[in-house]
Amino acid sequence: MEFRDSTGEAAFRATVRAFLDQEYPAEYAGRPTEWGLFNGAGRAQAGFAQFMKGWTAKLNEHGWGAPAWPKEHGGGGLSVKEQFILSEEFAWRRAPRSGGIGHGWAGPTIMVYGSEEQKAAYLPKIISGEHIWCQLFSEPGAGSDLAALQTRAIRDGDDYVVNGQKIWTSGAQYAHMGILIARTNPDAPKHRGISYFLVDMKTPGMTVRPLINMLNSHEFNEVYFEDVRIPAANLLGEENRGWYLATTTLDFERSGIATSVAHQLIVKDLVKFAAESELGSHTVATRRSARHELADRAIEAQVEALICYRIISMQERGEIPNKESSIAKLYSSELDVRLATTAMHLSGMYSQVTDRDDAYAVGGKFARFYMHSTTSPIGGGTSEIQRNIIAQRGLGMPRG
């Protein structure tokens, strides 16, 4: 990895910084971070939702709403290194980026496999933010072993009739569209006979039910399909070839430098808490182990950044990270938990407080961070699955 920017890359970084200086309000740049909920931080602030509408339009003017997308589809057509620089600079400023299922997964998959009609119908509305998307993949009996899914889609004239259940669907309560995989040939081996659909979330027969987590927040949902009729025109790619499309979608689900920067910012916030707050300074002053923990977390956050740099350097050379992406995901997820644990140790019994009005306990942020961090080793592929990938594809070990 070449850590220094080329002349062109340095100029691009300067452009991004100038944009943030001019366009991103200081009151949002300095807002408190809700750790573990990086993308949602500050959304509860008055006027932030309205600000985001104009912010998205400004990003799209530069092609930064979807920087990896080709320009002909409304994206920025940025190089791998330029995308890296954009993510890094935005992350250091705690500035929001357009994103989500539509920008990151649905749109790129439609670009690869969709018809011209499908591209024209869906891609512009993803770029504009008019359509929010969700991912209808996991099922109660098919999470890590996704190919074991049982939701059925049976062809009936110009439609497919879908019955089944999906679970852990993030943002389904807000989504306009969803990407769905369902079994269209139950007699085929489990990785075959699956098809990929684009689904209007208001289609009759679909029911979205909330799954409330231990933070008492509504992030996930379960979605039921009861004789839901999906037009055959909404089939993406070929029938019974949906597994290959799904793996393309999952290839886009990668951890990146933004999470690494967020972790470095958390370390800085923890050090500030330890130095300035009565609670934190008392802990650090009386417990050498607390100082050692902070040092360990600082080193680990830097190691995470180096892992991300390695992936970026591979992509710049035209290589496809495989085991390397699993290494990054595993390391990042488990660092999330270690950071949350350190935060709890620094605040002692006050780490139990979740009340946002309790200033002494940092508004309950530590407790919420800890509870949210428990999802990190599960979402996006469990730590166990990542270790299997690393063992088999990285170390050449046989399946157990």
pLDDT tens, residue by residue, 177-201 = 999 999 999 999 888 999 999 999 9
Cα(354)–Cα(370) distance, integer angstroms: 11
What is the predicted pLDDT for the residue at 94? 85
Which residue type is seen at 229?
R
Cα(315)–Cα(320) distance, integer angstroms: 6
Residue 31: pLDDT band with limits 50, 70, 90: low
Tens of pLDDT along 246-305?
A: 877 665 544 467 888 889 999 998 999 999 888 888 888 888 899 999 999 999 999 999
Domain boundaries, the chain: 7-98, 133-241, 254-394
Buried b / exposed e along 106-128 (16+ C-beta atoms within 10 A):
bbbbbbebbeeebbebbbebbbe
Residue 221 belongs to what H/E stretch? strand 218-231
What is the predicted pLDDT for the residue at 252? 54
Answer whether residue 63 shows pLDDT above 60. Answer: yes
Task: Give Cβ neighbours of residue 164 (< 8 Å, ≥ 6 apart).
Answer: 139, 149, 150, 151, 152, 182, 224, 225
Q: The domain 254-394 is classified under which CATH number: 1.10.286.10, 2.60.40.10, 1.10.287.950, 1.20.140.10?
A: 1.20.140.10
What is the predicted pLDDT for the residue at 36? 45
**Which residue intervals of 114-210 are DSSP H helices?**
116-128
Tens of pLDDT along 120-162?
A: 999 999 998 889 999 999 999 887 788 899 999 999 999 999 9
What is the predicted pLDDT for the residue at 286? 84
What is the predicted pLDDT for the residue at 40? 41
Helices 116-128 and 48-61 sit at what angle, rounded to 10 degrees?
Answer: 130
Closest alpha carbon to 369 in 32, 30, 31, 34: 34
For residue 253, indicate whether it is catalytic. Answer: yes
Per-chain mean pLDDT for the chain: 88
Tens of pLDDT along 213-251?
A: 888 888 899 999 999 999 999 999 999 999 988 877 665
Residue keyed to tokens 């790619």: 237
Whether 353 and 367 have beta carbons less than 8 Å apart is answered as yes
Which residue type is seen at 85?
I
What is the predicted pLDDT for the residue at 44? 45
Residue 327 belongs to what H/E stretch? helix 323-347
Residue keyed to tokens 């605040």: 347
pLDDT, mean of residues 323-332: 91
The helix/strand/coil state of 197 is strand
Considering the domain 7-98 in this protein, what is its CATH number? 1.10.540
Residue 39: pLDDT band with limits 50, 70, 90: very low
Whether 74 and 66 have beta carbons less than 8 Å apart is answered as yes
Which residue type is seen at 313?
S
Tokens of 157: 């004239």
Cα(103)–Cα(393) distance, integer angstroms: 29
Catalytic residue among 9, 253, 316, 334: 253
Lowest mean pLDDT among 15-19, 30-34, 280-284: 30-34
Whether 389 and 326 have beta carbons less than 8 Å apart is answered as yes
Considering the domain 133-241 in this protein, what is its CATH number? 2.40.110.10
Answer whether residue 397 shows pLDDT above 60. Answer: yes
Task: Give Cβ neighbours of residue 27 (< 8 Å, ≥ 6 apart).
Answer: none
**Which residue intervals of 24-150 are DSSP H helices?**
26-29, 48-61, 80-92, 101, 107-113, 116-128
Whether 85 and 8 have beta carbons less than 8 Å apart is answered as no
Answer whether residue 394 shows pLDDT above 80. Answer: yes
**340 against 319, higher pLDDT:** 340
